[in-house]
A and B are shown apart, each in its own frame.
Chain A
Amino acid sequence: MKGQALAIALIIASGVATFIMSVSTMQSLKLTQATFYKDYRFADVFASLKRAPEGLQTRIREIPGVDRVETRVSAAVNIDIPGFPDPVTGNIISIPDIGEPLLNKLFLREGRLTEPFRDDEVVIGEAFAGAHGFTPGDKLGVIINGRRRDLTIVGIALSPEHIYQMPPGAFFPDFERYGVMWMGRTPLATAYDMKGAFNDVTLTLSPNANVNDVIDRLDELLKPYGGLGAYSRKDQLSHRYLSEEFRQLEQMAAMFPVIFLGVAVFLLNVVISRVIHMQREEIAVLKAFGYSNFDIGMHFVKLVLMIVSAGVITGITGGVRLGQWMSNIYMEFYRFPFLKYELRPEIVVIAAFVSAAAAILGTLHSLRKAALLPPAQAMRPEPPATYRETLPERIGLKRLLSQPTRMIIRHIWRRPVKSLLSVTGIAFAFAIMMVGSFQGDALDFMVYVQFGLSQREDIAVTFVEPTSGTALYELQGLEGVEYGEVFRSVPARLRFRRRSYRTAIQGLRSGGDLQRLLDTDLKPVELPLSGIVMTDHLGEMLGVREGDLLTVEVLEGRRPVLTVPVAGLVKQYLGVSAYMDLSALNRLMHEGNAVSGVYLATDSRYLPGIFKKLKEMPRVAGTGIREKAIAKFYETMGETILIFTLINTLLAGIIAFGVVYNSARIALSERSRELASLRVLGFTRGEISYILLGELSIFTLAAVPLGFLIGRAMCAYIAANLKTDLFRVPLILESSTYAFAATVVLVSACISGLIVRRKLDRLDLVAVLKTKE
């Protein structure tokens, strides 16, 4: 009983801990985020544009609903770090020459802000600083507008705008090769040819303002100045990533605790019924002495509550620890300046109350039985339990089965619901393991599809502005470049009926080898010569099908509004892009052979040389290196995934162990008499162990396929809920995931089997046979 109570308490503790961990982490992160946003004045609306005179700011301020406005200069730059050969790009954002920014204020981790009008000072983001080990006083070379400047790092800062940092167009963060920095407005404007002008504006709204109206008015105002379309927080990259992460946590907060609690309640029910059965004589005596049904019921309610309390208390303590630990991981992964860990008391109350209520409800049936047991009946020895021949035996298998095997099968068959629930409980252990590994499998697959099948270039070179396609020849001439393909990228808002989405249309040469589009079977498809092709998820978001006419509002150049037919949908797990044939796109844009960049396949041995050359080319705005980005990504994700797998393994082990151990102990208690009889008849320890452990093995083995089904369903549910425009998680489960899940569960089952086997070896034959059951 003690061991069983402990096992159940542990399962409850796991459920409560996951609940507390997820909910407190989520709430803490949300609180931290909200506090950071508020204290550091995270803007409500963001817009980039080509260039507008500073005077336009007053007109923006006059838009109804706008509270504060801050114009900025934002410059894409190349960064030269001594001793780091890879191309590094960055974004320098202006801060006021004097004083702090009005919006999106900086939290200084180290150092100070730039001194007024100093053109050789820069504040850099913490993630970037951390990746390179920069401290104030270190120097960087920055190529702004084709000219190199040597800047001194004076401060290391965090910004509510860049809690999550990603290079533009990338799918993963890469803190080593992409950095956000801040510089005084005047020196930056001077360097970037933006004196008396701005190319970026952020604003906050007054209460009750309508975001969409403000965005529409702002777009109207910025249109003549090359506005790229304003967007609200909801579409702000860093904010969106955080929201996604919170949603995942929410999901985990819901799913795991329910499983654990369900399993715990089942086990409690089984154990309590057994205890009541074994104590029915004592119960009868108590009743004969005049204890009421209520008194008897309460006795067992107290027992249940004791187990639940032990579980809840352990769960809360563990959950708080895990929550703090996980919040810290998140805090480091994202860039929050501080962490406000909070555990709201109502969460604890909910966890305790729900666990207790579920446990009592779950055991109500057995409690009723105890209460209603008539005293006289309880005192009589029970007649032998009724058994029947089972279905497998009746269809003729009986002759093949030894008597001990028949005992196993009939015992399982006698209480099919209980047996099924035991199997289901163990199956959930498998499922939890699979959920743990699923993320890794899915990630591998996403990366494989995106970078193995679809985007196969080694380097993506982007130009400062659209350039003649002949630039390809120059790059192809570099030593080590094996092959190149040009591309054109045009920012646009795609509209269909009432829905719209801002993305970039990629113009590609059909028949290309480095950028391939994939159909739903992940087979490469040819890009049609006319019309637009888009990621399936984008099609879903816009509600378009092949053949629909799409309105394309180009957000560049003369900003034409075009009507283009949808020529098809393609499969992509990362991002949402639209594609067109390069010539067709050029024609629509009324431009000649213009390209935005070049994809290159290279011989990796020549990469340093290629990078060196690229850095010297003034028209090259940035270079994306695929391999290193992926490696870096895995490095970051690998750790989190490993931690998750570890936690899940532990949780699954607890469930598997708890269920198997409890089944074993119950079976031992129910059958100790039979097993002792067999020992008296001359059965060896091994032979009687077979009867008991055989049942457990059948449960465990039956749980394998069921667990795989449940696990798959749970993964499918997660995948279905992780569908965003940033990424879609495919339902991919590697065979190693199945194998690992099976191993963990089987090992847990074996351990509990061994413990029971030891008990079996110590079975006191004489004592067991003396009692009348």
Chain B
Amino acid sequence: MTDNSISNTISPGSVVFSARTVTKVYNMGEVKVHALRGVDMELYAGEMVVLLGPSGSGKSTLLNILGGLDTATSGHVTYHGRDITGAPDKELTEYRRVHVGFVFQFYNLIPSLTALENVAVVTEIAAQPMDPAEALALVGLGNRLDHFPAQLSGGEQQRVAIARAVAKNPDVLLCDEPTGALDSATGIVVLEVLERVNRELGTATVLITHNADIAEMADRVIYLSDGLISRVHRNERKKPPHELRW
């Protein structure tokens, strides 16, 4: 992972991630929880994928493994052909630092830093970052740079979180129910931002949701149930987020 030459030089359509028979077992004392039971999937450069499935189906687990936050019990995950399964913490950290942007349901902003600083905290350590103000402008918050999280609405906070995730110019953006804590109108604004990032920056995006309506904005929809991919569906027409209703 220390070799950075693979980053940012991806031709569209090349495979970013591939997961091969990935399983994940959580040991809860006596009980073993099989969160993933052998998942095979690819993510291609520049595409927008929605991971759809009911609660508890293993979506977050898969996303965390792809993003280097968690490790698979068995199987292999490769990133641009490199196996990241079982990489030590130091390499995974470097991997997240350089290649991956995360967005979570709970925005996880640093409350003691302003919007601008929340983005700057990442750009300070990134290899080829955007200007933090530019990233915030991209999510439509160019006028709220000096606001602290406590002074921002939920949707605004989530947009700061997206700006923070994209400001490092990652290869992939992994979003775990980014609209889960928002009302639908605000959620749509957030989705528009994600769509724009994907379109303008070409960042491959994985979007987790249990909301089938949202799936319509994806290039591909991967259905997960009970730790297995049950179906993959390619949308003929991607719906722009403002057309979505739920």
Q: Which residues of A contact B (CB under 8 A)?
A: 381, 383-388, 402-404, 406-407, 410-411, 414, 673-674, 676-685, 687, 765-766, 769-770, 772-773
Contacts and interface: CB of A to CB of B under 8 A. Distances in A.
Contacts of B111: 384-387, 674
Given A680-B102, A682-B97, A673 B108 contact: yes
Contact of B97 (A402, A411, A683, A766): A683
B113 A765 contact: no
Nearest to A677: B108
A770 B100 CA distance: 18
A387 B112 contact: yes
Contacts of A385: 111-112, 150
Contact of B112 (A411, A679, A684): A411
Contacts of A682: 93-98, 100, 122, 125-126, 168
A677 B5 CA distance: 26
B122 A681 contact: yes
A403 B113 contact: yes
A410 B114 CA distance: 11
Contact of A684 (B93, B110, B148): B93
B110 A407 contact: yes
Contacts of A769: 104, 106, 108
Nearest to A390: B112
A542 to B, nearest CB: 64
A384 B150 contact: yes
B124 interface: yes
B109 interface: yes
Contact of B106 (A411, A674, A772): A772
14 contacts: A384-B109, A384-B150, A386-B150, A387-B148, A388-B148, A673-B108, A674-B112, A676-B108, A678-B110, A680-B108, A682-B94, A684-B90, A687-B125, A773-B106
Nearest to A676: B108
Of all A-B residue pairs in the complex, the 5 with the closest CB atoms, nearest first, are A682-B97, A403-B121, A384-B111, A384-B149, A677-B108
B188 to A, nearest CB: 22
Nearest to A411: B112
Contacts of B106: 381, 769, 772-773
Given A406-B113, A407-B113, A680 B150 contact: no
Contacts of B94: 682
Interface string B197-232: 000000000000000000000000000000000000
B122 to A, nearest CB: 5
Contact of A387 (B93, B108, B150, B157): B150
A403 B102 contact: no
Interface string B104-148: 101011111100010011101110000000000000000000001
B112 A681 contact: no
A678 B117 CA distance: 13
A681 B149 CA distance: 17
Given A681-B122, A682-B97, A674 B110 contact: yes
Given A410-B112, A682-B98, A403 B150 contact: no
A403 B93 CA distance: 19
B69, B112, B122, B125 — most chain A CB neighbours (10 Å): B112
A681 B102 contact: yes
Nearest to B89: A685
B93 A683 contact: yes
**B150, B157, B168 pick with most chain A CB within 10 angstroms:** B150
Given A403-B120, A403-B124, A680 B110 contact: no
A597 B137 CA distance: 96
B70 interface: yes
Interface residues of B, number: 37
Contacts of A678: 110, 121
A407 B108 contact: no
A766 B64 contact: yes
Nearest to B114: A389
Nearest to A675: B110
A683 B125 contact: yes
A770 B176 CA distance: 10
Nearest to B108: A677
Nearest to B146: A389
Contacts of A773: 106
A414 B112 contact: yes
Contacts of B126: 682
A387 B100 CA distance: 29
Contacts of A410: 112-113
Contacts of A404: 121
B135 to A, nearest CB: 13
Contacts of B70: 766
Given A402-B124, A403-B120, A414-B112, A383 B150 contact: yes
Contacts of B124: 402-403
A764 to B, nearest CB: 10
Q: Which of A383, A677, A766 has the most CB atoms of chain B within a 10 A radius of its CB?
A: A677
A387 B110 CA distance: 10
Contacts of A683: 93, 97, 125
Interface string B60-77: 100010010110000000
A768 to B, nearest CB: 9
Contacts of A386: 111, 148, 150
Given A403-B124, A410-B112, A681 B148 contact: no
A411 B111 CA distance: 10
Nearest to B120: A403
Given A386-B150, A681-B164, A766-B64, A406 B112 contact: yes
A275 to B, nearest CB: 21
Contacts of B64: 766
Contacts of B168: 682
B149 A403 contact: no
B238 to A, nearest CB: 28
Given A384-B149, A384-B150, A765 B112 contact: no
A99 B124 CA distance: 94
A674 B124 CA distance: 17
A381 B109 CA distance: 15
Contacts of A414: 112
Nearest to B70: A766
Contacts of B113: 387, 403, 406-407, 410
A406 B112 CA distance: 8
A383 B67 CA distance: 28
A675 to B, nearest CB: 9
Nearest to A408: B112
Contacts of B89: 685
Interface centre among A386, A410, A682 (most CB of B within 10 A): A682
B112 A680 contact: no
Contacts of A674: 108, 110-112
A765 B98 contact: no
A406 B149 CA distance: 15
Interface centre among A384, A414, A680 (most CB of B within 10 A): A680
A217 to B, nearest CB: 81
A772 to B, nearest CB: 5
Contacts of A684: 90, 93
B69 to A, nearest CB: 5
Contacts of B121: 403-404, 678, 681
Nearest to B101: A681
A770 B125 CA distance: 25
A463 B33 CA distance: 98
A407 B97 CA distance: 19
Contact of B69 (A384, A387, A406, A680): A680
Nearest to B154: A383
A677 B93 CA distance: 12
A677 B108 CA distance: 6
Nearest to A410: B112
A682 B169 CA distance: 13
Contact of B117 (A406, A411, A765, A772): A406
Nearest to B98: A682
A8 B113 CA distance: 32
A677 B106 CA distance: 11
B52 to A, nearest CB: 19
